[in-house]
Structure 1
């Protein structure tokens, strides 16, 4: 069975991806390969950051791997926080990041947003990219306790619940990450 290292220390992301691939591949974490490095994310696009992660693992460990970069893009904020989603407020405290988004949006009637994920896969000396996105809107205040990141303020189009009000199964069926991971899995199954 194919083994891939997912270039993340984020336990939530790892669980989400493992649930989506449902045992079709072995997904190892950075901890599984005893990598505790803070892999740089200095790119200005999701693609650049995702590739930085795979390049780092390939250069250091020579393993088949994939990395992702994800973020929330809010139309009224010129697609911010974007690649800076995890540290939008200057820290990695998601409560502070959410507060800043809500503060900057204020009473704006344009609440359109989208979550976007780009996955970079390194396999057989080749780099491949897979993207997933889901459109929605930002609510005025936090709702729900599930999920992570900006989930409490994002409602996908066609739904009346935030990601944080959904079960993991509900979210995984429609999320930006699940769309990108499904493309990755489909690609790998055809290999």
Structure 2
């Protein structure tokens, strides 16, 4: 039972050391803080602002967790195990002192992620350019429609009839027949 307890303690320390190595690498290659004010200026809807606030808090939480895990773990307090047989305890002490966790090299993973995201980024830029072009076209159409609506709102019956002689002839015929109502 004591042996199992010591094994569990050793595994916990090893896992902590691995997380620390990963966190140190992640913190050391940390990207700069996003410009939250610039994002806030771009986002106008209430829902978008809520999502941005959520994203910002998640970013801060992850940064805090990585920073806290990048610090060295506490040493094992061997004096707490004074009831353990000294031979077993010495064996665990020597095993713990020989335990070396390799440094985690994050650069190759970052390069892999970059290669995965490059096509997505290219696609996003192309879609952004298309979207801006299409937005310009739609705005021009809206302006044309507004001009047409303004023309229709200010056009008189006489102007309409003078611009369409066929319609004028039909109206005159209906009036002469007395069936204009």
Bin of the TM-score, shorter chain as denominator length: under 0.3
Larger helix proportion of the pair: 2
- The higher relative CO (CA closer than 8 Å, separation ≥ 6) is in 2
Larger strand proportion of the pair: 1
